[in-house]
Amino acid sequence: MATNTRERAKEYKETRDRRPYATAKYIRISPKKVEIVLDLIRGKEYGEAVNILKFTNKSASLPILKVLNSAAANAENNSNLPKDNLFVAECYVGQGPTMKRMMPRAKGRGDRILKRTSHIYIKLDERKREIPVKPKAKKTEKKAEPKPAEKKAPAAKPAAAKKPVEKKETAKAPAKKPVAKKEGA
Protein backbone atom coordinates (compact mmCIF):
# COMPACT_ATOMS: atom_id res chain seq x y z
CA MET A 1 0.00 0.00 0.00
CA ALA A 2 1.42 3.37 -1.05
CA THR A 3 1.99 5.86 1.73
CA ASN A 4 2.62 9.59 1.46
CA THR A 5 2.47 9.49 -2.34
CA ARG A 6 1.12 13.03 -2.63
CA GLU A 7 3.81 14.39 -0.35
CA ARG A 8 6.51 12.52 -2.23
CA ALA A 9 5.21 13.75 -5.59
CA LYS A 10 5.16 17.33 -4.30
CA GLU A 11 8.70 16.97 -2.95
CA TYR A 12 9.89 15.52 -6.27
CA LYS A 13 8.42 18.47 -8.20
CA GLU A 14 10.20 20.93 -5.94
CA THR A 15 13.60 19.25 -6.10
CA ARG A 16 13.73 18.00 -9.69
CA ASP A 17 16.33 19.24 -12.10
CA ARG A 18 14.90 22.09 -14.17
CA ARG A 19 17.76 22.48 -16.62
CA PRO A 20 16.87 22.12 -20.31
CA TYR A 21 17.87 18.78 -21.79
CA ALA A 22 17.41 16.56 -24.83
CA THR A 23 17.89 12.85 -25.48
CA ALA A 24 18.32 10.64 -28.49
CA LYS A 25 17.69 6.96 -28.06
CA TYR A 26 18.59 3.87 -30.06
CA ILE A 27 21.32 5.60 -32.07
CA ARG A 28 23.12 2.92 -34.08
CA ILE A 29 26.66 3.83 -32.96
CA SER A 30 28.74 2.18 -30.27
CA PRO A 31 28.69 4.05 -26.92
CA LYS A 32 32.50 4.04 -26.83
CA LYS A 33 32.61 6.01 -30.08
CA VAL A 34 29.98 8.47 -28.87
CA GLU A 35 31.81 9.02 -25.57
CA ILE A 36 34.95 10.17 -27.42
CA VAL A 37 33.01 13.01 -29.08
CA LEU A 38 31.05 13.91 -25.93
CA ASP A 39 34.32 14.41 -24.06
CA LEU A 40 35.22 17.14 -26.58
CA ILE A 41 32.16 19.31 -25.81
CA ARG A 42 31.65 18.72 -22.08
CA GLY A 43 31.68 22.07 -20.23
CA LYS A 44 31.97 24.18 -23.41
CA GLU A 45 29.83 27.15 -24.43
CA TYR A 46 26.95 26.30 -26.79
CA GLY A 47 28.41 28.09 -29.84
CA GLU A 48 31.86 26.61 -29.28
CA ALA A 49 30.39 23.10 -28.89
CA VAL A 50 28.46 23.48 -32.17
CA ASN A 51 31.65 24.50 -33.99
CA ILE A 52 33.60 21.60 -32.50
CA LEU A 53 30.93 19.12 -33.62
CA LYS A 54 30.70 20.60 -37.13
CA PHE A 55 34.42 20.17 -37.71
CA THR A 56 34.94 16.84 -35.95
CA ASN A 57 35.41 14.01 -38.41
CA LYS A 58 33.60 11.31 -36.39
CA SER A 59 30.39 9.47 -37.22
CA ALA A 60 28.94 10.31 -33.79
CA SER A 61 29.25 14.08 -34.23
CA LEU A 62 26.11 14.46 -36.38
CA PRO A 63 23.64 12.78 -33.95
CA ILE A 64 25.25 14.63 -31.03
CA LEU A 65 24.88 17.93 -32.91
CA LYS A 66 21.18 17.19 -33.43
CA VAL A 67 20.70 16.48 -29.72
CA LEU A 68 22.62 19.63 -28.76
CA ASN A 69 20.50 21.79 -31.08
CA SER A 70 17.36 20.18 -29.69
CA ALA A 71 18.43 20.93 -26.12
CA ALA A 72 19.15 24.56 -27.09
CA ALA A 73 15.72 24.86 -28.72
CA ASN A 74 14.14 23.43 -25.54
CA ALA A 75 16.02 26.03 -23.50
CA GLU A 76 14.84 28.85 -25.75
CA ASN A 77 11.21 27.80 -26.06
CA ASN A 78 10.47 26.22 -22.67
CA SER A 79 12.78 28.09 -20.30
CA ASN A 80 13.19 31.42 -22.16
CA LEU A 81 16.99 31.20 -22.02
CA PRO A 82 19.05 32.83 -24.79
CA LYS A 83 21.38 30.49 -26.71
CA ASP A 84 24.45 32.68 -26.23
CA ASN A 85 24.33 32.20 -22.42
CA LEU A 86 24.12 28.39 -22.56
CA PHE A 87 26.85 25.85 -21.92
CA VAL A 88 26.96 22.05 -21.86
CA ALA A 89 26.48 21.25 -18.18
CA GLU A 90 26.19 17.46 -18.52
CA CYS A 91 26.51 15.09 -21.42
CA TYR A 92 26.72 11.35 -21.21
CA VAL A 93 25.88 8.22 -23.16
CA GLY A 94 24.13 5.06 -22.05
CA GLN A 95 24.18 1.71 -23.75
CA GLY A 96 21.01 0.76 -25.58
CA PRO A 97 19.96 -2.71 -26.66
CA THR A 98 22.49 -4.74 -28.59
CA MET A 99 21.47 -6.48 -31.80
CA LYS A 100 23.06 -9.90 -32.28
CA ARG A 101 23.94 -11.06 -35.76
CA MET A 102 25.87 -14.06 -37.12
CA MET A 103 28.81 -14.08 -39.50
CA PRO A 104 29.69 -17.36 -41.23
CA ARG A 105 33.23 -18.60 -40.60
CA ALA A 106 35.31 -21.54 -41.75
CA LYS A 107 34.33 -25.19 -41.13
CA GLY A 108 30.65 -24.41 -40.70
CA ARG A 109 31.10 -22.24 -37.68
CA GLY A 110 29.53 -18.88 -37.05
CA ASP A 111 30.78 -15.87 -35.10
CA ARG A 112 28.52 -13.47 -33.31
CA ILE A 113 28.48 -9.81 -34.33
CA LEU A 114 27.27 -7.34 -31.71
CA LYS A 115 25.65 -4.24 -33.19
CA ARG A 116 25.55 -1.82 -30.29
CA THR A 117 23.20 1.13 -29.85
CA SER A 118 23.46 4.27 -27.71
CA HIS A 119 21.24 6.62 -25.77
CA ILE A 120 22.66 10.18 -25.80
CA TYR A 121 21.76 12.69 -23.06
CA ILE A 122 22.72 16.38 -23.05
CA LYS A 123 21.79 18.91 -20.36
CA LEU A 124 22.44 22.60 -20.82
CA ASP A 125 22.61 25.33 -18.22
CA GLU A 126 22.76 29.10 -18.21
CA ARG A 127 26.12 30.67 -17.51
CA LYS A 128 25.72 33.79 -15.47
CA ARG A 129 27.77 36.51 -17.12
CA GLU A 130 29.16 38.91 -14.58
CA ILE A 131 29.53 42.55 -15.52
CA PRO A 132 33.16 43.52 -15.00
CA VAL A 133 33.43 46.15 -12.27
CA LYS A 134 36.45 48.41 -12.09
CA PRO A 135 38.04 48.18 -8.65
CA LYS A 136 38.13 51.44 -6.72
CA ALA A 137 41.48 52.89 -5.84
CA LYS A 138 42.21 51.95 -2.26
CA LYS A 139 44.68 53.49 0.08
CA THR A 140 46.87 50.70 1.25
CA GLU A 141 48.70 50.87 4.51
CA LYS A 142 51.79 48.82 4.79
CA LYS A 143 52.00 46.96 8.04
CA ALA A 144 55.33 46.14 9.49
CA GLU A 145 55.61 42.41 9.19
CA PRO A 146 58.17 40.56 11.25
CA LYS A 147 60.80 39.19 8.96
CA PRO A 148 61.77 35.59 9.43
CA ALA A 149 65.26 35.13 10.78
CA GLU A 150 67.65 34.89 7.89
CA LYS A 151 70.11 32.05 7.95
CA LYS A 152 73.64 33.14 7.38
CA ALA A 153 75.78 31.17 5.03
CA PRO A 154 78.68 29.41 6.73
CA ALA A 155 81.93 31.32 6.56
CA ALA A 156 83.87 30.51 3.44
CA LYS A 157 86.97 28.46 4.14
CA PRO A 158 90.13 29.43 2.36
CA ALA A 159 90.47 27.34 -0.75
CA ALA A 160 93.10 24.70 -0.26
CA ALA A 161 95.41 24.15 -3.17
CA LYS A 162 94.24 20.99 -4.83
CA LYS A 163 96.83 18.59 -6.05
CA PRO A 164 96.28 17.32 -9.59
CA VAL A 165 95.24 13.69 -9.57
CA GLU A 166 97.84 11.49 -11.20
CA LYS A 167 96.51 8.94 -13.62
CA LYS A 168 97.95 5.50 -13.38
CA GLU A 169 99.08 4.04 -16.62
CA THR A 170 97.70 0.60 -17.29
CA ALA A 171 99.35 -1.92 -19.54
CA LYS A 172 97.22 -2.37 -22.63
CA ALA A 173 97.29 -5.45 -24.81
CA PRO A 174 98.53 -4.78 -28.34
CA ALA A 175 95.77 -4.31 -30.90
CA LYS A 176 95.06 -7.32 -33.11
CA LYS A 177 95.86 -6.96 -36.77
CA PRO A 178 93.18 -8.00 -39.28
CA VAL A 179 93.87 -11.31 -40.93
CA ALA A 180 94.07 -11.11 -44.73
CA LYS A 181 92.01 -13.63 -46.69
CA LYS A 182 93.84 -16.07 -48.88
CA GLU A 183 92.92 -16.04 -52.53
CA GLY A 184 92.82 -19.04 -54.85
CA ALA A 185 92.46 -21.66 -52.22
Q: Using one digit for the tens of pLDDT, what is the confidence trace for 14-48?
A: 888 889 999 999 999 999 999 999 999 999 999 99
Based on the number of CB atoms within 10 Å of its own CB, is 67 exposed (0-12), middle (13-18) or buried (19 or more)? buried
Q: Which of 36, 71, 70 is nearest to 56 (CA)?
A: 36
Question: Whole-model pTM?
Answer: 0.64
The pLDDT tens digits of the residues spanning 63-104 come to 999 999 999 999 999 989 999 999 999 999 999 999 999 999
**Contact, 47 vs 84, CB < 8 A?**
yes
**3-class DSSP state for residue 178?**
coil
pLDDT band for position 132 (50/70/90)?
Answer: low
Q: Over the chain, what is the mean pLDDT? A: 84
**Among candidates 57, 56, 92, which has minimal Cα distance to 71?**
92
C-alpha distances (whole Å) from 96 to each of 26, 28, 99, 100, 174 are: 6, 9, 10, 13, 78
pLDDT at 8 over 70: yes
Residue closest to 119 by CA, chosen among 70, 64, 54, 41: 64
Residue 162 has pLDDT above 70, yes or no: no
Percent above pLDDT 70 for the chain: 69
CATH numbers and ranges of domains, the chain: 17-126 (3.90.470.10)
Classify residue 83 by its DSSP letter. Answer: G
